[in-house]
Amino acid sequence: MNPFLSRCALAASAFLLAACASVPPGTAEIELVTLNDFHGNIEASKYVLDSAHGSGPRTIVAGGIDTLGAALQAWRKQDPELLLVGAGDLIGASPAISSMWADEPTIVAMDLLGLRASSVGNHEFDAGRIELLRQQRGGCKSPRIDKACTFENPYRGARFQYLAANVIDMVTRKPLLPAYKIEQAHGVKIAFIGAVLREATEKAPASGIAGLDFVDEADAINRQLPELRKQGVGVFVVLIHQGGRTIDKFDQQECSHLTGPIVDVVKRLDPAIRLVVSGHSHRGYLCRVDGRLVTQSDMGGHVLSRIRLTVDTASNTLRDVSARQEVMIPGSWPANPALDAYLKKVRDLSASALARPVAALAVPSVPREKRDDGESALGDLVTDATLAAGRPYSAQIAFVNNGSLRHDLDTSAGNRVNVGQLLAALPYTNSLVVMNLRGSQIRDLLEQQWHGGRDITRGLLQVSDGFSYAWDPRRGEGGKVLPDSLMLHGVPIENGTAYRVVVNNFLAEGGDAFPAFTLGSNRAETNIRDIDALTDYLTRREQYGKPAGRSEAQGRIKRLQQP
């Protein structure tokens, strides 16, 4: 047996034995299982395993709803009252097998897994509040009319509850969704309070979240406790879609190096809150912040966090909390027939549509990974396709946000790319908008890439062929772009000249914290989806005998190197 798997099995056995040992009088043991940032990954996928108990990073295949279902089935045999909860981004930026059906298969899968509640994440708002409420409540009235209810009709909605204590309807002044959900296990009431990062407004189309106020996370969470105490609740668990990073391994016990926005939120929570289940940063950790346990279980269903609460039933308070990580390795638990059958159903219904060939590429794979200068080969390809789609509207420059590119654009036999591979790389299906920006506004736009150091997490904008510039990391914020480096086909960009720019509608509304796009004039709504623009571009290039795609970025963005 693999040594890592042996250690995992021993650790899991120890965890179960501890959980199943005789519970001292006056206490109750409650098991939670948590996941975050699932992003519609209903199938197993690649995962870089780098354990505190291993010999170094290596790539394996992990996850998939069949594996998650098998693990949960086995654990519920040990504790039938186990509670499964989530910390947001269950859907959105999903593989095509889920996104092509408006992520409805993922919602149903979460129900089959027995999910009780989850905070919303920023990606739950990708298609706006109306679509989020439809996914919660069911029905077919959707802004995504080409996808909603095409998998099953009617769509029944989620049986689990989305939570959002800090997302306030500006008209009613009440949370858009319930702030909390009370569950009961082993005779103990547990309140799960949900929240999403306040900056979600930067990550969702402005038109889709109009009328919503995303307020301070800690304040919104703390406000729930008096009401919950009146209902006899003394154990509080926060599910929050906000995260951090650490130098520690994902399964390192008692990590003490957590940094990032989640730390400030945790430090301001009511002292009675001793467990925070986080998400958003796609980093697994088991950390302590001011004595509280803060967890995250990676992304894509590759890892589940198993958390044990020890409750003093006399005082109705949490006495102790501990956790460990479980890597979701296929075949590690006896199969769950219900989840196996459901995954097969989704695959069968999706197979023919996803396998339809589109065009040949010049290379086997166009990578999403960025160079040191911030440019990627996939970014080059998608911006060029976006520009081509905007040409009838006189577009001269295209920008694409790095966050809309989710996966390498891989190909099948003969370097041919199919529908599923395209949707994996570009899953949002945003529409394109053309506008005028003056040269000075383009300079301001480029400087906004470094505001608050956010280029570290979101990446730089990708730019189309013919446009180029250079930046210097040693310069201060607001002055990183070299003034004379902005060029369009070798001609300097002039501050007072208007240029025709094409972007997706998310950026056009100021998404990803790029307010410069909201200043664009003479707007034209093309009603062309980005995925259709890419499909058409690849098809035409093949027809012309010049298949598109490169393995390396083309040097449109230049980063000055340290001397």
- Residue 107 tokens read as 């919602």
**Cβ–Cβ < 8 Å for 166, 268:** no
Whole-number Cα distances in Å, 88 to 118, 301, 505, 520, 538: 6, 12, 23, 33, 34
**Cβ–Cβ < 8 Å for 530, 433:** no
Domain boundaries, the chain: 33-348, 357-559
**Backbone phi and psi for residue 34, each to the nearest 5 degrees, phi listed first:** -130, 150
Cis geometry, peptide bond prior to residue 154 (ω within 30 degrees of 0)? yes
Q: CA-to-CA distance for 464 and 387, rounded, in angstroms?
A: 7
Q: CA-to-CA distance for 434 and 437, rounded, in angstroms?
A: 10
pTM, to two decimals: 0.84
Secondary element (H or E) of residue 334: none
Q: CA-to-CA distance for 70 and 337, rounded, in angstroms?
A: 9
The answer to whether domain 357-559 has CATH 3.30.70.1170 is: no
pLDDT for residue 387: 98
- Residue 450 tokens read as 């470094």
pLDDT for residue 11: 47
- E strands present in 388-530: 397-400, 409-410, 416-418, 431-438, 462-463, 467-471, 487-488, 491-492, 498-504, 521-529
Strands 467-471 and 557-559: parallel
Whole-number Cα distances in Å, 119 to 171, 196, 253, 301: 22, 7, 25, 16
Q: CA-to-CA distance for 93 and 37, rounded, in angstroms?
A: 10
DSSP state, residue 424: H
**Cβ–Cβ < 8 Å for 433, 523:** yes
- E strands present in 361-444: 365-366, 397-400, 409-410, 416-418, 431-438
Closest by alpha carbon to 374, among 479, 446, 442? 446
Tell me the mean pLDDT per 10 residues along the chain, length 563.
Answer: 43 49 83 97 93 89 98 98 98 92 97 98 95 98 93 96 98 97 98 97 90 98 98 98 96 96 98 98 96 96 98 96 98 98 97 93 96 95 98 97 94 94 92 97 96 72 98 94 96 98 96 94 94 97 97 96 65
pLDDT for residue 137: 98
pLDDT for residue 54: 84
Strands 212-214 and 167-169: antiparallel
Q: CA-to-CA distance for 529 and 82, rounded, in angstroms?
A: 43
User: Could you tell me the CATH superfamily of domain 33-348?
Assistant: Metallo-dependent phosphatases (3.60.21.10)
pLDDT for residue 25: 84
